[in-house]
Amino acid sequence: MKTITLKRGKEDSLLRFHPWVFSGAIATLPDGLEEGETVTVAAADGTCLGTGHYEIGSIAVRMLSWREEETGKEFYAERLANAWQLRRRLGLVRPDNSTFRLVHGEGDFLPGCVVDVYGNTAVLQAHSPGMHYARNMIAQALTELPGAGIRNVYYKSETTLPFKARLDPVNDYIIGGFETNIAEENGLKFNIDWLKGQKTGFFVDQRDNRALIETYSKGARVLNMFCYTGGFSVYAMRGGATLVHSVDSSAKAVALTDANIELNFPGDQRHTSFAQDAFKYLQEMPESAYDLIILDPPAFAKHRGAIKNAMVGYRRINAAAFRKIAPGGILATFSCSQAISKEQFRLAVFTAAAQSGRKVRIIHQLTQGADHPVSIYHPEGEYLKGLILHVE
């Protein structure tokens, strides 16, 4: 294995287990080093700090281990077994729940790797060249995980790998093929479209929050804005909502929502969906039409440069919801932008509340599900922020 040597004093963050080496910290790159190679990282005095995947860019190494370690199939198998044990411990592996995130990058000590499980299919997503090269080993190890029953591994990295690395990944099955795309979450069925859907096909991170919304749905008129697959809508229906409106600007998303409602509540007239722009819908909807509003928009800020516009976006949608929600209503509002902090998001929501002049209380502060663990040394892994608010 080749060794990357750091500049003097640049080993501190690694000694605190932060899993990234930034390019500015590097003193020397070994000759002939290729992007995606597994390397050891050494302090200026030669002490080995660990093993990681090298890539070209601001993050130059993603650390896999805190010692020199071979990263063959056994390595991945062990990390996956560890991740699997945690999901079992979390109570997510049940006959009525076959949908969960098995690998959450740094949070499962596999930086650059995401695996979502939908029944007997695992969707594998690489975010680094190193993980792209490891994909076959990971796929094999996934199907060999004792008790997991994973038979199909779909590789989906066309949009997540750095474009400049010219890896030209193709979205396709590495092992097995299409069997069924129906998976269960807390006893509810979902069609998961990993072939054409966003991300790995489903937003697994909202599971606990959807379950919480179910408990507030009894007798409520619900608006699920940015519905995508209709996750929140299906839970609200089971929770006893009297009416559920799902809105998404994508006609495909609306079709997915309709299919998922039909799968769980065939012929149920309480649900209607609309393919419409959120800003327009919120602007035009009548006052007091809804008792429960869910706002779960896409990441308005995909990078730091977009923070200002994103803050305006969050403020606008929340202001409209505060203005229109029925008295005594519940607003569940989210941000999945990694670049927006918890405090910034709360400021945007606070500003929107103040503009509406309504009395607003925070009743829950939410984040991603426990199958999206955050390494305490890598707080960047926490990205989902949510507030459930009571509006008088």
Say whether residue 203 binds ligand SAH (CB under 6 A).
yes
- The least distance separating ligand SAH from the CB of residue 316, rounded to whole angstroms, comes to 11
Say whether residue 341 binds ligand SAH (CB under 6 A).
no
- Using a 10 angstrom Cβ sphere, with 0-12 exposed, 13-18 middle and 19 or more buried, the burial of residue 286 is exposed
Distance CA 10, CA 2 (A): 19
Residues β-bridged to residue 366 = 386
Say whether residue 264 binds ligand SAH (CB under 6 A).
no
Q: Do the beta carbons of residue 19 and residue 111 sit within 8 Å?
A: yes
Among candidates 80, 9, 21, 81, which has minimal Cα distance to 54? Answer: 21
Say whether residue 253 binds ligand SAH (CB under 6 A).
yes
Say whether residue 250 binds ligand SAH (CB under 6 A).
yes
- The least distance separating ligand SAH from the CB of residue 172, rounded to whole angstroms, comes to 24
Distance CA 23, CA 45 (A): 18
Distance CA 79, CA 43 (A): 26
Q: Is 259 left (phi over 0), alpha (psi -120 to 50) or beta?
A: alpha
- The least distance separating ligand SAH from the CB of residue 227, rounded to whole angstroms, comes to 6
Contacting residues for 58 by C-beta, under 8 A, at least 6 apart: 22, 23
Residue of 38, 71, 206, 260 that binds ligand SAH (CB under 6 A): 206
Per-residue binding string, ligand SAH, 215-234, x by CB under 6 A, is: -----------xxxx-xx--
CA angle 206–209–215, rounded 5-degree value: 145
- The least distance separating ligand SAH from the CB of residue 255, rounded to whole angstroms, comes to 11
Residue of 248, 257, 261, 333 that binds ligand SAH (CB under 6 A): 248
- The least distance separating ligand SAH from the CB of residue 318, rounded to whole angstroms, comes to 14
Residue of 296, 301, 369, 391 that binds ligand SAH (CB under 6 A): 296
Number of amino acids touching ligand SAH (CB under 6 A) = 17
- Which residue, 253 or 331, is less far from ligand SAH as judged by CB? 253
- Residue 327 has which token pair? 């008295």
- The least distance separating ligand SAH from the CB of residue 92, rounded to whole angstroms, comes to 17
- The least distance separating ligand SAH from the CB of residue 210, rounded to whole angstroms, comes to 7
Distance CA 248, CA 257 (A): 9
- Which residue, 97 or 143, is less far from ligand SAH as judged by CB? 97
Distance CA 41, CA 151 (A): 36
Give the total residue count for the chain. Answer: 392
Interface residues with ligand SAH (CB under 6 A) are: 203, 206, 226-229, 231-232, 248-250, 253, 277-278, 296-298
